[in-house]
Structure 1
Amino acid sequence: MDNSTWVANHTGQLDFILMGLFSQSKHPALLCVVIFVIFLMALSGNSILILLIHSNAHLQTPMYFFISQLSLMDVMYISVTVPKMLMDQVMGVNEISASECGMQMFLYLTLVGSEFFLLAAMAYDRYVAICHPLRYSILMSHRVCHILVSGCWFLGSVDGFMLTPVTMTFPFCKTREIHHFFCEVPALMKLSCSDTSLYETLMYLCCVLMLLIPVTVISSSYSFILLTIHRMNSAEGRKKAFTTCSSHMTVVILFFGAAIYTYMLPSSYHTPEKDMIVSAFYTILTPVLNPLIYSLRNKDVTGALKKMLNMGSVTIL
């Protein structure tokens, strides 16, 4: 029995080999340090943002509740892929078992899907706040916010439950080497020795649906917001509304742009190197950028941070 047949018959008992970012780098040690620093920045930035939102009474609003959920997703998101990648580089091991690969894929898909819908919920929140301010407390009550967030997590998990089992049941006999730094569906599909064209078409339609619903909500919300901002008489009101919305739109463009490239562009546009760079952008860099975008451009958050630091210095003295 040749090696490829053995791999095909025993996929569940074999480890995959993650080729990773470091195999493409001329200075893997330096890249490892940089990614570790970015990882710590993402964890600390998002954790501080969550702490500030939950400890400061002025930040107990629907907008900040959604931002805290986004930070929670980002902490989990980067923790699914980066620690394994760094440990493999330090230990000199780059293998991952089929069960670990499946779990990593499920968590990643769940968190990505949840974040898509959460960004849509955040856009709807800004639409209600700017276009219907008098009804805001009713339309975005505590109960409504929790229902929206629960719905985001549920819809994200549906994505994970749909794609992960099917992907992991394909026979993989071409090679064990995944040209990626984590178990992403498109990278794993390239290893299958069976015809995956129908599944890839269904996955494409699923991704279109997963992206189409949030994009429709976001684009509709911001169309109405822009019209409302244009009609505002107050220059200060226009500036505040535009600043808040531009922060959110920056995150949306970064996140959705990378996802559209990965899951919706034809395979002819893809190379393993391009795929890894794009994936690194939205799995490693986006979780660092989100707290910076929402804190540095937000006076309420920077004010709460200064207050917390001042209280800490007074306590030490």
Structure 2
Amino acid sequence: MTTNLKLGTRGSPLALAQANMVAGALAVHGTTCEIVVITTTGDRVQDRPLAEIGGKALWTKELDAALIDRRIDFAVHSMKDVETDLNDGVALAAMMPRADVRDRLIGTATLGALRHGAKVGTSSPRRAAQLLARRPDLVIEMLRGNVATRLARIAAGDFDATLLAAAGLDRLGIDAGHALEIDDWLPAPAQGAVGIAIRKGDAAVGDAVARIDDADTHAAVLLERHFLACLDADCHSPVAALARVADGSVSFSGEIIRNDGTERQHGATHAPLAGARDAVALLAAELLARASPELRAQFGE
């Protein structure tokens, strides 16, 4: 049995809550962990959108380096923040059971209740595009920082509203906002999922974390990430997706949106789990085929 593993994580309150959740789950199986906090570029740079300065890798590259250098044994990530193409030396080994996948609207009960020209803060291209698709009059401005920082900016009146992941709020014990239902508002791919990355080929650590892997969550996250890969999406590409796995089959919904919200292409598919990757790839191709040249230009080279 592998014990006393070094668990790498970012140092935000949410990241630490997730790391402690993983450590607690492993402890049930006799594996103890030392939590090692790694400061990432994404934590240090707060005045610009991630898409402008390197994308999702800014949350993960320092953790990947610590993993490969053996300063940590595994890393815990919010899976929606993990780039689609992993570092060559890194593998995704386990997923915790998925939490609430929805976004919560903070500062107002409904989008319709916002005044004309209201200022909404977000750094997410997906959320910005979804907002503009429904309310083109809204003014979208960048809002970054941890959950407490963003809630404080709303409370101070700097913005009329923002959107936060329900899973993160729940993990921090914060009861705030109004959930947007999935049928109307798809989440980011892998939202609500916490994953574990290990060094590729590290069988001992892989075996240890496999004991806490949730198979349905793992399958859903991999399918949503496959959708991103099939679209050739990057950090600028507004994409929403959700795979629901149950009883050996998958219901998958996906959406691509122009950055200015003027076009949305949405589709869904249902398939046995064994054939779901092909079904997801076909859906991605269908959405791109239906899209205007302007929307297609947001994907690929």
Band of TM-score, shorter chain: under 0.3
| Structure showing greater relative contact order (alpha-carbon pairs closer than 8 Å, 6 or more residues apart) | 1
Q: Give the greater-gyration-radius structure (CA).
A: 1
TM-score by length of 2: 0.26
TM-score by length of 1: 0.25
- Name the structure where helix makes up a greater proportion of residues: 1
Structure number with the higher strand fraction is 2
